[in-house]
């Protein structure tokens, strides 16, 4: 047939049903109008979740962003994405929370370029009694931004952010809200490192190993009541013995269970130490995995992930069944460079400390063959979604 756009619709719908990777499905729908009519979610229901794409650093002076596909082993998508240029990006539910230096917050879908405007940083800081953002501090204002659901699929969702002025604070926004709502949590917690929406609740873990569980009702309830409780992991982990290492904590939902993943790294080089070949930033050397019981505040050590692979990045974590995809190794933890405070003092920013950790033998290997560095937005995993 000379014109592929004229394929009968009953034949077109058979093509996406044979596609297993959502990035190929998106490319299929971009061919022409008639093909786009067949690129519906109902025609793509193969594997969920999908293998995350590595959004490479914002290190080029243009409006395009590159995405590295682990399954294909190459940069498979280069998107025109001016909305993300010069912005710090926090991925959640297939969307990006973007933050610009000039004081804009948005939710951005990277593949459709759909944007949802959010209340401004000034509205956020007004909750703390500040009139303006201190010059140069915008890039370090937000720690985390987590959605309860994909805004493409529902309007009944909540966005929770962790921000700070003198100490860390939490606020939330729901569709229809005109401003941010500050959390009134009775506990004074440390800096939030990782946060997740799990079984109707938000859960975060701090840099010190504190875990807080809290509930935020959806937009259908006009007067939200935030319920929260706090417990500390030190009795389970004996964190004191790890003080000589840098430690990061991640929360990931796997098959209805909540896992805590601990990441250990040699700290940033001190001034009196000789330079390292990898640069001056932290260097990851080990991970530990635990199943977290949020009701009793207890942990159970897990020595293997089996067929699963876990992906960790600055704003969250996800997993896939490796046997369903090419290029993904079982029992591995794929991590990006999210040592934000440590990398902020480096001239070219973060992006060096990335790799795949074999939970069975403890080896770390590279999964991305190049070097992608940025002070503003180093490489991070994004799960493709509609």
Give per-residue pLDDT as tens, 114-153.
999 999 887 787 776 666 665 555 445 788 999 999 998 8
**Co-location of 219 and 162 in the same domain:** yes
Last residue of a domain, one of 181, 204, 230: 230
Q: What is the pLDDT of residue 274?
A: 52
Q: State the pLDDT confidence band at 1, using cuts at 50, 70 and 90.
A: very low
Q: Look up the pTM and report it.
A: 0.86
Is the pLDDT at 175 greater than 80? The verdict is yes
Average pLDDT, integer, range 9-28: 68
Number of domains in the chain: 2
**Co-location of 225 and 251 in the same domain:** no
Kindly list the distances between the CA atom of residue 266 and the CA atoms of 50, 61, 65, 284, 290, in Å, as whole numbers in the listed order.
32, 33, 31, 6, 21
Q: What is the pLDDT of residue 364?
A: 96
Give per-residue pLDDT as tens, 77-115.
778 899 999 888 999 999 999 987 666 899 999 988 999
**Co-location of 296 and 168 in the same domain:** no
* Phi, psi at 92, each rounded to 5°: -160, 130
Assigned domain for 147 exists = yes
**Co-location of 135 and 181 in the same domain:** yes
**Co-location of 317 and 185 in the same domain:** no
Domain range enclosing 369: 246-385
Distance CA 345, CA 266 (A): 16
Which of 46-50, 167-171, 285-289, 313-317 is modeled with the greatest confidence?
A: 285-289
Give per-residue pLDDT as tens, 220-274.
665 555 666 667 776 666 665 556 678 889 999 998 899 999 999 987 655 455 5
Q: What is the mean pLDDT of the chain?
A: 81
Assigned domain for 34 exists = no
Q: What is the pLDDT of residue 184?
A: 67
Spacing of C-alpha 267 from chain mean position: 23
Given a contact cutoff of 8 angstroms between Cβ atoms, the answer to whether 324 and 308 are in contact is: no
**Co-location of 212 and 93 in the same domain:** yes
**Co-location of 151 and 194 in the same domain:** yes
């Amino acid at each position: 047939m000379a014109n592929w756009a004229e394929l009968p619709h009953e034949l077109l719908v058979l093509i996406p049903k044979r596609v297993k990777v959502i990035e190929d499905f998106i490319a299929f729908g971009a061919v022409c109008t008639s093909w786009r009519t067949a690129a519906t979610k109902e025609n793509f229901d193969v594997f969920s979740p999908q293998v995350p794409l590595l959004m490479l650093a914002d290190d080029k002076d243009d409006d395009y962003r590159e995405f590295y596909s682990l399954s294909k082993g190459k940069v498979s998508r280069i998107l025109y994405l001016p909305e993300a240029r010069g912005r710090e990006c926090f991925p959640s539910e297939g969307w990006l929370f973007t933050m610009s230096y000039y004081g804009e917050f948005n939710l951005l879908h990277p593949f459709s370029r759909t944007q949802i405007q959010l209340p401004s940083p000034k509205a956020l800081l007004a909750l703390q009694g500040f009139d303006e953002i201190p010059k140069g501090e915008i890039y370090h204002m937000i720690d985390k931004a987590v959605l309860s659901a994909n805004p493409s699929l529902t309007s009944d969702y909540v966005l929770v952010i962790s921000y700070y002025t003198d100490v860390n604070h939490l606020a939330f926004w729901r569709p229809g809200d005109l401003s941010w709502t500050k959390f009134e949590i009775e506990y004074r917690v440390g800096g939030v490192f990782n946060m997740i929406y799990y079984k109707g609740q938000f859960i975060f873990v701090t840099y010190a190993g504190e875990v807080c569980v809290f509930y935020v009702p959806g937009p259908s309830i006009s007067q939200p009541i935030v319920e929260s409780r706090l417990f500390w992991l030190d009795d389970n982990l004996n964190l004191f013995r790890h003080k000589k290492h840098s430690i990061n904590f991640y929360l990931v939902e796997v098959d209805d269970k909540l896992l805590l993943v601990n990441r250990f790294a040699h700290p940033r080089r001190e001034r009196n130490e000789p330079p390292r070949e990898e640069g001056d930033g932290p260097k990851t050397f080990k991970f530990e995995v635990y199943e977290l019981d949020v009701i009793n505040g207890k942990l159970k050590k897990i020595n293997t992930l089996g067929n699963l692979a876990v992906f960790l990045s600055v704003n969250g974590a996800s997993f896939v069944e490796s046997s369903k995809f090419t290029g993904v190794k079982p029992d591995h933890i794929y991590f990006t460079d999210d040592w934000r405070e440590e990398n902020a003092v480096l001239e070219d920013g973060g992006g060096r400390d990335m790799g795949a950790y074999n939970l069975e033998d403890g080896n770390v290997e590279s999964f991305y063959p190049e070097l992608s560095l940025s002070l503003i937005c180093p490489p991070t995993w994004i799960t493709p979604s509609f």
